[in-house]
Amino acid sequence: MAGSRFIFATPYRHATLLMAFIMASLSFLLAIAPNGEAGEESQFLLLPNDPEALVELFSPVLRFSSREVLYPVPVDVMLENANLRRDGELILEAPIPASILGTYRSTEFYLDVEDTGSGISYGAITSQYPVTVYARVNAWSEGILLQFWFFYIYNDGLNKHEGDWEVVSVLLDLAGRPKLVAYSQHYTAIVRHWTNLERIGSHPIVYVARGSHASYFSAGEHMLRLTPCGFTGLDSASGTVTVGNEDYTLVLLDEQAWLAFEGLWGEANPLPGMSGPPGPMYRRDGCGSSLWTPPPRWFEDLPPDEDFSLIPRRGMAPSAQIQISEPHHRGEPINFDALGTEDDGEIVYAEWDFGDGTVVAGLETNHSYAVTSNFTIRLTVMDDDGNTDRTRLDLEIGEPDDGDWPLGVIGPEQFVWIAVAITAGALFLIAYTVKRRRMKRH
């Protein structure tokens, strides 16, 4: 009997030790498994994830005179119809490849469309091209500058000349909230605070002067006004024809091969204001400040619109509200929306942080979780005045068949197979040990 007890006690003891080791290992793995809870809260930055989405959010609505024949077009119209010259000498004949034009880095060069003569003639050239706006995102240590550049093949205002570059600039703080807006007018620009701006949602409305294409905050006849960096006015902007932000092609400016061209986008003329302008990278205002580099100096130079101060209009901040669908199970999509958010204006942007590393934008969206755990959802909203609010919601994600399943990353089905494998392994070890002991006795 003593021998028999020894034979069976040893394998049972080995199996018990093995089982204890395996269960301890499983407990350790479950303890260190990720529970889906977010770590430290990331720094708030109310911005879409890419430059295209950002410029689309603030892209302007353009309003033209019914008598306007020239609209902003891609620079292809110039490259396909103009020759490159220097001091009257022909350098390149049209068409000019964009990549070749970008290699000419001297102010002595200029583009010249041959023998046209009137705005109507230039309008006929551009009629086959789509309305196009070039956009740029320029971030620096104090904020973010969004610029929308418009190229016209001809300026048909008082100072008629080939080529015309105009720009609308939106200044954001580091949290992505709009603060100031500047509209270019001849050699200067005028500034308004975002909250005092006429707009459709987050899209500024720009009244484009007939012929000169100067940009104004309101429709009507604009009288001469002298500023430290140049004059504005002497323009008419009726605003009867609307080109919405969905009606034109938005192109990222920094990706253009022609951008480094340092010459003039139009014929050279010794008379002031009668030559084509330099391109966006080399544009300066009447005070000599670059319109391309980060804007603190440029915005400081610019005067506010005479009818509005730069003091923001105080509107009610939004009250962010989260609404979600049922049920809340692992692997199943859940609908999220911010449509219940209260505001005195319009919510133009919403950003969701789902607590599992996923961040998306949109008033309505859906998301599914890969693991069962507790998550914190954070919603940030911005209204059309640039006011923001943030709220959070704690959400428990359970298993589809058992919302109270406690083992996190290991579901019930996986646990059953693990238990079967452990039991089979233990039984095999017992049988093998017993067999060996019996063989030794014989």
Segments forming the whole domain that contains residue 434 = 2-33+410-441
CA angle 239/248/293 to nearest 5° reads 90
Angle, in degrees to the nearest 10, between helices 412-441 and 2-32: 150
Strand partners, 335: 366
**Residue 402, domain member (yes or no):** no
Whether the per-residue pLDDT at 292 is higher than 90: the answer is no
pTM beyond 0.85? no
Which residues does 130 contact at the CB level (< 8 Å), separation at least 6? 73, 74, 248, 249
269 and 368: one domain? no
389 and 432: one domain? no
194 and 295: one domain? yes
State how far the Cα of 303 lies from the Cα of 300, in Å rounded to an integer. Answer: 8
The number of angstroms, rounded, from the C-alpha of 81 to the middle of its chain's C-alpha atoms is 34
146 and 26: one domain? no
Strand ranges (DSSP E) for 259-407? Answer: 323-324, 334-337, 347-353, 359-361, 364-367, 373-383, 388-397
102 and 241: one domain? yes
pLDDT, mean of residues 285-306:
75
Provide the phi-psi class of 306: left if phi over 0, else alpha when psi is between -120 and 50, else beta. alpha
Q: What is the CATH number of the domain that holds 348?
A: 2.60.40.10
Whether the per-residue pLDDT at 33 is higher than 60: the answer is no
Quote the radius of gyration of the chain (alpha carbons, Å).
Answer: 34
342 and 203: one domain? no
Tokens of 222: 């604009």
**Residue 105, domain member (yes or no):** yes
192 and 270: one domain? yes
Model confidence over 398-427: pLDDT tens digits?
998 654 445 545 555 565 667 766 776 777
Model confidence over 250-272: pLDDT tens digits?
999 999 999 999 999 999 998 88
pLDDT at 146: 94
One-letter amino acid for residue 128 of the chain: Q
CA angle 334/340/344 to nearest 5° reads 150
State how far the Cα of 304 lies from the Cα of 243, in Å rounded to an integer. Answer: 26
Question: How many domains does the structure of the chain reveal?
Answer: 3
pLDDT, mean of residues 102-123:
87
**Residue 43, domain member (yes or no):** no
345 and 382: one domain? yes
